[in-house]
Structure 1
Amino acid sequence: MSDGNVSSVKNFVIVGFPGLHSRYYGLVSALMFLVYVCILLGNGTFLLLFAREKRLRKPMYYILINLAVCDVLFSTTTLPKIISRYWFSDGYVSFTGCFVQMYFVHLFGLVNGLILAVMAFDRYVAVCNPLRYANIVKDSTILMLCVVAWMIPQSCVLMLVIRAYPLPYCAANTIIQCYCDHVAITKLACTDRTPYGFPAFVFVMVLLVTPLSFILFSYTSIIIAVLRISTNQERLKAFSTCSSQLIIIALYFLPRCFNYMYPYIGISFNPDIQILIIMLYSHLPPMINPLIYCLRAKEVREALFKTPPE
């Protein structure tokens, strides 16, 4: 840390896809803008429905509201700058602004995973302890768990930023990524990255694997409980209560785990493919999650199309 005061970089430049030809900049920026609009419209519609319809004031929908808010904030943190980079050739981010973006990128990403763990808890109780569901999963319980999910990552992410900010950045300032994240920024430091990169990797894996482990435990227990149900119709009904959550969880965790682990299992990608994978798992779920809510949740469909509740 002694070299931390010799940084000569005043700003960073978001490169995005390094191999993308300039003739495709307009197309890529238009596509990203469309994705951003879809995220805002889909999640915004769900938020408006929740605010308007009292029938949605239930624990599961409190969880989905937190997920929708997190998705909107993450996309708003990451997409406007890369859209501006390709649409207006404006990829510059101030030195401090880049670290602020880093903080929010990792915060919202980790909060998302913890909210999914809360969702798994809700489904676990609903399927494995249905008679006690109303006593265990109260509005106050879910709201408290969601607040905890927002609070836990903050100090950890702040420590990542505090450790990365004073490093000596005295050479290249081009970030080969679509937004400022810890790996992309610390690679530019004029010092050995290992003391900073490895603890960051361990930290991310702990906060990623811990909720994932609980989710796997919850849904394994759910599957075992469902298989013990005597009739096929009841089994299908039980599975249907969890199917949308399983889709959302798979979209979030599977690509992330692959992205973190593939360098350690002998697989390599060129930077464009790697960035494409990151952009897909970062922004595809926020775009399609509202569709999953609406298609799978009967009460949301009724609220959306103004169908009177049965």
Structure 2
Amino acid sequence: MFVVTAASLSENFTVMLVTFRFTQLRKPLNYIIVNLSLADFLVSLTGGTISFLTNYHGYFFLGKWACVLEGFAVTYFGIVALWSLAVLAFERFFVICRPLGNIRLRGKHAALGLLFVWTFSFIWTIPPVLGWSSYTVSKIGTTCEPNWYSGNFHDHTFIITFFITCFILPLGVIVVCYCKLIKKLRKVSNTHGRLGNARKPERQVTRMVVVMIVAFMVAWTPYAAFSIVVTAHPSIHLDPRLAAAPAFFSKTAAVYNPVIYVFMNKQVTLHSCT
């Protein structure tokens, strides 16, 4: 956790610093990328730092309300990051495929996207604080998370709703938008001839899309699958270390998100080197 937290904080801070320093990067299409870095930074600052300290002590020593706050903060900022990926996919689809004709992505559109991400994520992460399910200490005893193990039907309804709105929906948006984007690029490539150079942009975007979707799935599918399994079978016996692995693994997304979405972005690289 120390290595993951340190790497995430340094990478995401660098992204925000570079964007702040170079005015050329302050464009509507980059707003959501900076928002993603901010969310990942906050996940590591809250969840990563606390997880390192509590693991060092061997148990969650900060008390009940600190557990609730940590569980809420990590879940909230994590879902903001997830939905930021989905909005990023939609914005790229909007810019390249132009589903609304000549309407271009402007600052107000990007701002609305950010407002949606933070508001929607808050709506689906605050209920456990208010009594619809709860945030509790995990089985390993050093982190806090939604109460997956509860056998109460009231808690089950929240977990299922949370799974649909905060995993299935953003994943669906990502897949649909990038599939349409690849289809559009392939069509443009075929229209402009069969030269190798004509297909180069398509191949580059295709590789990027594959990396994006695979990264999303690798980071969050184990945690999502784990939550559904223990919700459906709350009496299942799992080794606490095995049960904790998906939650810790999902935090690694904050490390490689900046690499995929920023450091592989030629626009950012060129501005940073000038």
**TM-based fold match above 0.5:** yes
Determine whether 1:98 maps to 2:67.
Answer: yes
State the AA in 1 paired with 2:55.
Answer: Y
Determine whether 1:113 maps to 2:77.
Answer: no
Local SS of the residue matching 1:181 = strand
Which residue does the alignment assign to 1:22? none
Local SS of the residue matching 2:144 = coil
Determine whether 1:286 maps to 2:250.
Answer: no
Which one is further off, 285-294 or 45-54? 285-294
2-structure distance, mates of 1:208, 1:73: 20
How far apart are residue 303 of structure 1 and its match?
A: 2.8
Which one is further off, 217-226 or 263-272? 263-272
1-structure distance, mates of 2:141, 2:216: 19
- RMSD value, Cα: 3.2
- Counting only pairs closer than 5 Å after superposition, residues 107-146 of structure 1 correspond to structure 2 as 107-129=76-98, 135-146=103-114
State the AA in 2 paired with 1:137.
Answer: L
Determine whether 1:193 maps to 2:161.
Answer: no
Q: In the TM superposition, what whole-angstrom CA distance separates every residue of 1:102-145 from its partner, at most 9, and x where no partner exists?
A: 22122112212211111111221233239957x33112201211
How far apart are residue 194 of structure 1 and its match?
A: 3.1
1-structure distance, mates of 2:237, 2:60: 27
Determine whether 1:206 maps to 2:165.
Answer: yes
Determine whether 1:84 maps to 2:43.
Answer: no
1-structure distance, mates of 2:105, 2:199: 22
Q: Residues 180 and 290 of structure 1: is their aligned pair in 2 closer, same or farther, counting only changes over 3 Å?
A: same
Q: In the TM superposition, what whole-angstrom CA distance separates every residue of 1:23-48 from its partner, at most 9, and x where no partner exists?
A: xxxxxxxxx21221111111111111
2-structure distance, mates of 1:207, 1:237: 32
Q: Runs in 1 of length 4+ with deviation above 6 angstroms? A: 264-269
TM-score relative to the length of structure 1: 0.73
2-structure distance, mates of 1:41, 1:147: 26
Local SS of the residue matching 1:121 = helix
Which residue does the alignment assign to 2:223? 259
Q: Residues 51 and 203 of structure 1: is their aligned pair in 2 closer, same or farther, counting only changes over 3 Å?
A: same
Q: Residues 277 and 182 of structure 1: is their aligned pair in 2 closer, same or farther, counting only changes over 3 Å?
A: closer
Local SS of the residue matching 2:258 = helix
2-structure distance, mates of 1:82, 1:234: 49
CA contact (8 A) 2:60 2:143 kept: no
Q: In the TM superposition, what whole-angstrom CA distance separates every residue of 1:162-213 from its partner, at most 9, and x where no partner exists?
A: 125789x9xxx774254211126x64xxxx5332134322223223212221
How far apart are residue 292 of structure 1 and its match?
A: 2.6
Q: In the TM superposition, what whole-angstrom CA distance separates every residue of 1:30-68 from its partner, at most 9, and x where no partner exists?
A: xx2122111111111111100010111122311110000
Structure showing greater Rg: 1
Bigger relative contact order, structure 1 or 2, given CA contacts below 8 A and separation 6+? 1
Which one is further off, 46-55 or 116-125? 116-125
Q: Residues 58 and 246 of structure 1: is their aligned pair in 2 closer, same or farther, counting only changes over 3 Å?
A: farther
Q: Which of 127, 148, 153 pairs up with 1:159?
A: 127
State the AA in 2 paired with 1:149.
Answer: V
Q: Point out where structure 1 has 5 or more consecutive residues left out of the alignment.
A: 1-31
Q: Which of 40, 52, 55 pairs up with 2:21?
A: 52
1-structure distance, mates of 2:142, 2:59: 12
Q: Which of 282, 290, 298 pairs up with 2:266?
A: 298
Local SS of the residue matching 1:299 = helix
State the AA in 2 paired with 1:104.
Answer: A
2-structure distance, mates of 1:154, 1:249: 24
CA contact (8 A) 1:70 1:112 kept: yes
Q: Point out where structure 2 has 5 or more consecutive residues left out of the alignment.
A: none
State the AA in 1 paired with 2:28.
Answer: P
